Structure 1
Amino acid sequence: MRTIRIDDEVLACLQQHARPGDTPNQMVRRFLGLNDLPPRAYAPYAVTAALQANPGSTAAEIARAAKVGYSTAVRVLTALADDGTATRKPGERTGPDRRGNTGYRWWPAQQ
């Protein structure tokens, strides 16, 4: 990987288009129209940022916000719950017989 230098004006433009959890490389790739899905190594950061920005969301909603796959979001959220940095609660029951479940809702752990 190579390093490039950018001036403050270019950085400000990139930051205007930044999403929560973006790395500088992701900002540049998206600005250039390249694949904007985060590499697997960035997924925990993207999911954590999406959780912070969308408390009370389902794993599917967090996955969409983080631009990662559903199974990746669930894996990261479960790890966050295991280490105490996220909490989950069962979703509300849906449907005429109330047997359906919207899935867990996720929140950042209280500091």
Structure 2
Amino acid sequence: MSDPVSTIRNLGPASEESFARAGIGSAEALRALGADAAYERLLAAGSRPHFIGYYALVMGLQGRPWNDCQGEEKAALRRRFDAICSAARGKGDPGRSALEAALDAIGVIERRR
């Protein structure tokens, strides 16, 4: 039996549900993917980008409290987060028009699943 995602520090039931929607159903699978690849999958599954959520994930996978990230480490994580989000935006949804993609980006229309 595998451990649930919520056994990883900083991750609770809401995170567990989000990761399940992204096809990541266990703490072992999340650890194997690593923070960046797992976050990419969250975004691809329709989760909205959130920097604190990203660095809480990174810290949790290191066994650290979510607010343990500061200074240059936090700045470096912000650069990684921005790169992940930028790449995810670049992939887009080929079934959507440019207008729909723009409305989706600002949260006006429902994300397609």
Q: Same fold (TM over 0.5)?
A: no
Task: Give the TM bin, normalised by the shorter chain.
Answer: 0.3 to 0.5
- By percentage of residues, which structure has more helix? 2
Q: TM-score, normalised by structure 1?
A: 0.39
Q: TM-score, normalised by structure 2?
A: 0.38
- By percentage of residues, which structure has more strand? 1
Q: Which structure has the greater CA radius of gyration?
A: 1
